[in-house]
Amino acid sequence: MEIVLGVSGSIAAYKAAEIVRGFRRRGAGVTVVMTRNARRFITPLTLQTLSGRAVITSAFGETVQDRPDDIEHLGLARSCDALVVAPASAGTLARMAAGMADDFLGTFYLAVTCPVLLAPAMNTRMWEHPAVRRNVEILLERGASVIGPDTGELASASEGAGIGRMAEPEAIVQRVVHLAGARGMQLPAASDTQSAASGPLAGRTVLVTAGPTREELDPVRFLSNPSSGKMGYAVAAAARAMGARVVMVSGPTQLGDPEGVDVIRVTSAAQMRDEVISRVEDADVVVKTAAVSDFRPAARASVKVRKGAAPRTVKLVPTPDILAEIGRRKGSRFVVGFAAETDHLESHAREKLRRKKLDLIVANSVGGENGGAFGADDNEVTILEASGEMERWPRMSKPEVAARLMKLVASRLGRRSHGKRL
């Protein structure tokens, strides 16, 4: 697997070192391309040492060491499996959107056919400027993917906190793994021992539910919903990458098991309830992303019901409310719920947060002609916490939502532990 990492002029350029290390730990080869301004923030020698390769700093052959003949924009483009620009400054985004080939990175971007991932980094006012947002839209329209930016502390003390902080290096690496998988390729994963030994969730057990459930009318028909399970599987993978032991109870999906995750597959709401409740005592964190059917037929036919003999009405009865039961057994666990709503998103989510005794709820829209978040590869969510805090996250891929969510959960667990020590 060959990665080209473009580094542009931003204070976040120092994080490029961790991105290189993340790819190298997964067995990928990394070639670093630096813009002129990037060298003001981190030295080419640092990235050469970590990548084990010459760093490209000029379209005219100026590198840390003599560049091999095959490392030029066309030759490198042919061998590249993913181009990652992290950090992507406002200037770099503008040059890429305009198709400017005035340096190696701009020229290389015009030559590649592989997936392109951009990780913007700038202050809040720059990120929210219409020119920057339009440049990002242009690049998205051309097939690039964007991760972040995150909300958090910015570089300048006068700026304080806000949106514009570059996504975390591990989230960027994980996103490229996802893009690689979408192309039928796979990066070697970090070993289970390595993952479990470190990370903000190391030593924790995370219980995740995912996918839909099915409630059978007869042996060939059932009630269900369009949930693909992508969000829950992404949450499980993100928690595992952060060092947690992860158990996932999944309804029927077409997805493969995330590496290092203990997966229990079920079909109905009752089966999911039994598996979850039998494991909840061992969990430190419960993340319930599953779209559980709220109703089941009062009676299931043992044989296929013939069309002409089918009743005109079907009596329904409620299925177990798994999340409410978890709330009653909550104890010291951190419980995260998801709210799939077609209208009044925030008010309905707040009510569910309160009623089911959750610590945090992720609200997402499933309305609209295309089903909203159901089945999609990306999502736009609102985070509501029992403490009263609220965040609206911009549209991003589900693995990005998952990585950011589990980072938030880890920070809240850390806050609890700190409070106990005080």
Phi, psi of 25, deg, nearest 5:
-60, -25
d(CA 89, CA 248): 38
Helix (H, G, I), strand (E, B) or coil at 222: strand
List CB contacts of 185: < 8 A, sequence separation 6 or more.
1, 81
End-to-end CA distance of the chain: 47
Kind of pairing between the strands at 360-365 and 381-385: antiparallel
Inter-helix orientation angle 398-421/230-241, to 10°: 50
What one-character DSSP code corresponds to residue 368?
S
Give the Å distances, CA to CA, from 21 to 30, 84, 179, 188, 316.
Answer: 9, 14, 18, 14, 54
Structure tokens at 219: 């042996």
Q: Which one of 37, 123, 135, 225 is the catalytic residue?
A: 225
d(CA 163, CA 125): 9
379 is catalytic: no
Show which residues are catalytic: 225
